[in-house]
Amino acid sequence: MPRKLTEADLKKFEELLLVLRREVAGDINHLEADAFSTDGERATGDNLADVGSDSFAQEFSLELLERDGETLERIEEALKRVEDGTFGRCGVCNSWIGKERLKAMPYAKNCISCQREAELEA
């Protein structure tokens, strides 16, 4: 049965979330630069294979950018939960989220049982 997080646990998770936020924000900056590159390095219409490859690379970067943006939002929400004292509590059943789950996904807002149920319903 998961237990309440200690102050030391909260501090460790907050530090982990801050590191993740920096990493994801850096990834986002890199992906934006790649996806919206206008430096003339993109292929011209002369070689359709190059154009197709560039289009695929740009689309892939945009998909990664969207995913990282969603992750960054979840990290920000988790940092707010640390501030308001609700971090570590399931948003559905209000039970404590296990430390192992939080170590694997520190921005998790639901316990594993509630998350599984939500995914099955989706």
Give the burial class of 1: count Cβ atoms within 10 A of its Cβ; 0-12 exposed, 13-18 middle, 19 or more buried: exposed
Please give the pLDDT value at position 56: 75
Cβ atoms of 106 and 18 within 8 Å: the answer is no
pLDDT digits (tens, 9 = 90+) for 90-111: 999 999 999 999 999 999 999 9
pTM: 0.75
Please give the pLDDT value at position 19: 95
Give the residues of the chain that fall short of pLDDT 50: 39-40, 42-43
Please give the pLDDT value at position 33: 72
Percentage above 90 pLDDT, the chain: 57
